[in-house]
């Protein structure tokens, strides 16, 4: 399934947002596009939202037509879909789209050499971002340029608590703590990731955001603080396993074969530990 939201900001909303520098993002009209075989049904969206279909192969002419007249493109499918992201970027450039938010997001900074070495997914994200850098340096026939912003959000907080990505098992009252549990790391709720994206779209042209990786987070916390809060909310104290992050990474790397793409569970564990110990985004982000 491929979901391709395309977002357009009205001119009046842009001007109001820039004039007020408001903490609330401007409102945007959203135009989702789906591949023909997408299982997302139109009833997923509000009745006023127009959904466009494109062929599964994402032909450039259909993409350009879907994007023409749009203010911005937000790519919301997996960051591993490198070639599809590049297809969208090329179409956006030709269609005159002003700004792209690629499918970067995620637990780790995809520009960090250590993360790039550990997790193949981040190499895909970097490849797309490098491509956008190249596009941003080209002029269109009318002299305009395309800009982009990558959001580095840290772990998805609400999703991570449910899935175990934060190394906390609420159901079993267990937790895995890396390197003593006092490393402060960033995390963002899914709602705040949406808010940060909307804020970026309301500030297209802002030099602080254009052609940059931007940290955005809901909270900066430690594993020990998190476990304490969870214990206070759900009851008995958790059984805590103290682990060396380096040893755990070595163990999970040993489970990978070739480029590491064959073992999704080990990759998820590498993302989990790296997102906790690499300490990204501790300074105030745009949705803090």
| Burial class of residue 159, CB neighbours in 10 A (0-12, 13-18, 19+) | middle
CA distances, 100 to each of 7, 57, 94, 161, 242 (Å) = 10, 21, 13, 29, 41
Q: Domain map of the chain by residue range? A: 50-277
Picking from 188-197, 206-215, 261-270, which range would have the lowest pLDDT averaged per residue? 261-270
Task: For 25-60, write each residue's pLDDT tens digit.
Answer: 555 566 555 545 555 555 555 555 566 678 888 899
Assign 99 a pLDDT band (cuts: 50, 70, 90): very high
User: What are the tens digits of pLDDT across the range 59-71?
Assistant: 999 999 989 999 9
pTM > 0.85: no
pLDDT for the residue 17: 38
DSSP-assigned states of every residue in 227-286: HHHHHHHH-SPPEEEEE-HHHHHHHHHTT--TTTTT-HHHHHHHHHHHHHHS----S--T
CATH architecture of 50-277: 3-Layer(aba) Sandwich (3.40)
């Amino acid at each position: 399934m491929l979901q391709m939201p395309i977002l357009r900001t009205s001119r009046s909303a842009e001007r109001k947002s820039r004039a007020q520098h408001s903490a609330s993002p401007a409102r945007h009209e959203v135009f989702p596009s789906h591949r023909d075989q997408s299982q997302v049904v139109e009833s997923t969206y509000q009745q006023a939202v127009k959904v466009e279909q494109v062929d599964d192969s994402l032909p450039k002419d259909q993409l350009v037509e879907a994007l023409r007249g749009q203010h911005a493109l937000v790519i919301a499918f997996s960051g591993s879909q490198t070639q599809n992201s590049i297809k969208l970027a090329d179409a956006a450039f030709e269609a005159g789209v002003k700004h792209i938010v690629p499918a970067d997001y995620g637990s780790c900074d995809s520009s960090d050499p250590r993360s790039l070495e550990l997790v193949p997914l981040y190499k895909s994200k970097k490849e797309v971002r490098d491509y956008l850098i190249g596009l941003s340096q080209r002029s269109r026939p009318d002299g305009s340029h395309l800009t982009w912003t990558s959001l580095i959000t840290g772990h998805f907080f609400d999703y991570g608590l449910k899935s175990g990505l934060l190394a906390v098992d609420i159901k079993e009252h267990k937790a895995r703590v890396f390197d003593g549990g006092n490393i402060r790391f960033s995390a963002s709720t899914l709602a705040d990731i949406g808010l940060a994206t909307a804020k970026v779209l309301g500030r297209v042209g802002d030099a602080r955001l254009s052609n940059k990786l931007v940290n955005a987070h809901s909270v900066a916390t430690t594993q020990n603080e998190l476990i304490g809060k969870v214990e206070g909310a759900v009851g008995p104290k958790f059984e805590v396993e103290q682990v060396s992050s380096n040893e755990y990474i070595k163990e999970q790397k040993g489970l990978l074969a070739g480029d590491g793409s064959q073992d999704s569970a080990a990759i998820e564990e590498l993302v989990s530990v790296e997102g906790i110990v690499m300490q990204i985004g501790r300074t105030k982000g745009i949705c803090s």
